[in-house]
Amino acid sequence: MSDHFITLIPTVPYFVPSADAFKEALRLLTSFIPKADRIEGRVTEEVTFVDQGENFERVSCPSCHRELATTWWQEAMDKSHESRFTNLRVVTPCCRFSTSLNDLDYHFPAGFARCWLRARSPRQEEVAPEQIGQLEGILGVRLRQIWTHY
């Protein structure tokens, strides 16, 4: 049986909100996605890659928009993983653009985070932009929406 998730992560990988803000955001997300099998929030000690599972299509350069070779991206991920994702800096091979693994263009979206809010089997396509705006106001950070299929 396959699982579907909507995950919301801060666009700043190392960001962790206050416990009260996180609890309030979790409560609000629960009201936005009432038919989900489960809503959960998590905070970790280290930055983690929050992926899109089987929805992964490609990774592109945010500067010149060329598709990056999967082998280059995997090597960059392996190198960053050696530092436990404390160093996400990369230089793209296409146009030598200095950026972050977090800021590459992932199709479908993905990213790095120390905390996230997640809905399992949400029975809806996405969290509406105005709802994400409300969550961002509570948490004090912009959020990225990730659709994961396993």
Give the pLDDT of residue 52.
96
pLDDT at 1 over 80: no
Domain 1-56+109-150 has CATH 3.90.1170: yes
**Is the model's pTM score more than 0.75?**
yes
Give the pLDDT of residue 125.
84
Domain map of the chain by residue range? 1-56+109-150, 57-107
Give the pLDDT of residue 2.
79
Q: 60-118: per-residue pLDDT in tens?
A: 999 999 999 999 999 999 999 999 999 999 999 999 999 999 999 999 999 999 999 99
d(CA 118, CA 121): 10
Rg for the chain, CA atoms, rounded: 16
Rounded to 5 degrees, φ, ψ at 109 are: -60, 150
Average pLDDT over residues 105-132: 95
